[in-house]
Amino acid sequence: MTQLIFLPILFQACIAVLLLFFFGKVKIQKIISIAGSALNLAVAGGVFYVVRLEGSMAVQAGNWQAPFGITFVADTLAVTMVLLTAIVGFAVSIFSAYTLSGNRIRFGYFPVFHFLMMGLCGSFLTGDLFNMYVWFEITIITSFVLLTLGNEKEQLEGAVKYFAMNMLASLIFLTALGILYGLTGTLNMADLSGKLMAIENRGLVNVCALFFFFGFGIKAALFPMYFWLPDSYHTPPTAVTAVFAGLLTKVAVYALIRVFSLVFIPEAFFNNLFLIVGAFTILSGGIGSLVQNNIRKVFSYLIICHIGYMIIGLGLFTQAALAGMMFYLIHDIIIKTNLFLMSGMIIKIKGSTDIRQLGDIYNDHPRIALLFAISLFSVIGIPPLSGFWPKISLIWGGIEKSDYLSVGFILFGSFITLMAVARIWSKVFWKSSTVTAPPNAPLFFDQLSKRRRFWILFPVGFLSVVTLYIGFGADNIHLIASRIAEDLINVDAYIELVLGK
């Protein structure tokens, strides 16, 4: 039964290998990818269900016992992330099949996409830090390929920035691993948790923790290290950006959560560091989103802004704050993917990304505009929708710790988000536009067949339904989030599961 843990990783690997056999055959690849992603959704859902029912599971790869071999652990946090990955993967797979040009698919878009999904699932499920490094490398190698596929000038430029920063982050991460191994002689997270506490050289332990913070912080686009993100995320095709926005920064947030709850015991210094960095991340991301005119850059800055909430949640480190953080993470993965898919739709409809020129979408396509409104309102956190509930928990966590400054920043962040979204809504949806789609341009929305239009809209609709569920079924999600928060505070169960009694 515990073998089930490998399934999400291996299933993606099998799809990718199968796709490699059909390299260059566009139509077959599309079918395999969509069918595979749909099945993968079922697989991830199954694993999630089993873990919810029977509790966390751990399995030793290759049957090498715990601190020596590589452990894979499926606790509630990991399987939730895997399920979200599967949901995003399903939506993006359909979206890319219907929007990407044949050339990109011919050069191996789909196999690489599924390898990326495999890397993400692997980094969520592994219980070993070096193994996590390997999965991280898989995700960044595949993301480089997705970012450069198509070879346009701006894509290549964005890729250089993305490459340099992510490579540097990996090297910092690897340095931290080296120091950690030198200190403790193990890289199993559960084993580290006990052994690090006994080490007397606290200075070196803290330096090591700082290395982890900077390594993951670059990848998660935290305050002083986020500049690569808005410079590269808007260059590749929409489908690619949607995966990046939804999952790639969040996997680093996941790593931060894992490492700073399980491996390093939360200390006052790091909690304060998280609070300060989180506050500045909200501030800089929010202000950036207000001044940008490229719709995709506005959303890119919103990603940064909302990472700040999760980091503040991690810094507060109370039951309520952590539950809020997890709820926000769940909400954010779905909503950010959807925002970028929407920006792709807007580009398809109007042929421009400049919000000074865009407009008229509400006038021309009222029903599509309403569909988009669900996601936009959820980002702000209008009460019954999904962005509202996690903020309540986060604010409650702040009040519990009487950290009113952080509460203020959370409220301020929501306010800025409101302004950014209102700006998008009035300028892109309500204003009358100055551009018309050039008549000879390929693949504009109005010129597509009805069936194709439906399938381009389907992923957006699907993710909107998920968002609505997160909003209206908030008690279920909150239950999961609180369960994860409990696990993060009481790590003994995790350690016992991995190392045995």
Partner 1 sequence: MNSVILRTAASFLLPLLIMFSVFILLRGHYLPGGGFVGGLVAAVGFVLHMFANGLDETRRLLMIHPGYLLPCGLSLALLSGFTPVLITGEPFMTGVWLDDPVPVIGSIGTALFFDLGVYLVVVGVSLTILFTISEEVK
Partner 2 sequence: MELLLAITIGLLYASGVYMVLRRSMVKLIIGIILIGNGVNFLIFLLGRITKGSTPIISENSDTFLEAYADPVPQALILTAIVISFGLQAFAIVLIKRVYKVLNTDDIDRLSHTEDYDIL
237 contacts which partner out of partner 1, partner 2, none, CB within 5 to 8 A by kind? partner 2
Euclidean distance between CA atoms 245 and 387, whole angstroms: 17
SS3 222: coil
Q: Does the footprint of partner 2 cover residue 436 (CB under 8 A)?
A: no
**Rounded Cα gap, residues 450 and 442, in angstroms:** 16
Choose the contact partner of 156 out of partner 2, partner 1, none; CB within 5 to 8 A by kind: partner 2
Nearest distance from C-beta of residue 274 to partner 2, angstroms: 26
- Residue written as tokens 């439906």? 454
Alpha-carbon span 61 to 6, nearest angstrom: 9
Q: How far apart are CA 259 and CA 209, in angstroms?
A: 9
- Residue 329's identity, in one-letter code, is L
User: What is the smallest separation between the CB atom of 241 and partner 2, expressed in angstroms?
Assistant: 9
- Is 422 near partner 2 (CB under 8 A)? no
Positions in 295-334 near partner 2 (CB under 8 A): 296
Amino acid occupying residue 215? G
User: Which member of 35, 164, 370, 489 binds partner 2 (CB under 8 A)?
Assistant: 164
Applying CB under 8 A, does 231 fall inside the site for partner 2? yes
- For every residue of 250-301, DSSP letters joined together read HHHHHHHHHIIIIISPP-HHHHHHHHHHHHHHHHHHHHHHHH--BHHHHHHH
Site for partner 2 in 109-138 (CB under 8 A): 130, 134, 137
By the 10 Å C-beta count (0-12 exposed, 13-18 middle, 19+ buried), 182 is classed as exposed
CB closer to partner 2 out of 3 and 151 = 151
Number of residues this chain uses to bind partner 2 (CB under 8 A) = 47
Nearest Cα to Cα of residue 470 among 332, 343, 340, 321: 332
- Collapsed DSSP state (helix, strand, coil) of residue 65: coil
Among 14, 174, 373, 392, binds partner 2 (CB under 8 A): 174
Among 64, 65, 102, 157, binds partner 2 (CB under 8 A): 157
CB closer to partner 2, 107 vs 181 = 181
Q: Where are the alpha helices (DSSP H) in 65-101?
A: 76-99
- Binding interface with partner 1 (CB under 8 A): 2-3, 6, 10, 13-14, 16-18, 20-21, 23, 59-63
Which of 39, 46, 354, 418 touches partner 2 by CB under 8 A?
354
Please check whether residue 86 is in contact with residue 44, taking contact to mean a CB–CB distance below 8 angstroms.
Answer: yes
Q: Which is nearer to partner 1, 44 or 460 (CB)?
A: 44
Compute how many other C-beta atoms are within 10 angstroms of the C-beta atom of residue 138: 17
Of 234, 258, 401, 427, the residue at the interface with partner 2 (CB under 8 A) is 234
**Amino acid, res. 26:** V
Please report, as ranges, the residues that interact with partner 2 according to CB under 8 A.
130, 134, 137, 140-141, 144-145, 148, 151-154, 156-161, 163-164, 167-168, 171, 174-175, 177-179, 181-183, 187, 231-232, 234-238, 294, 296, 347, 351-354, 441
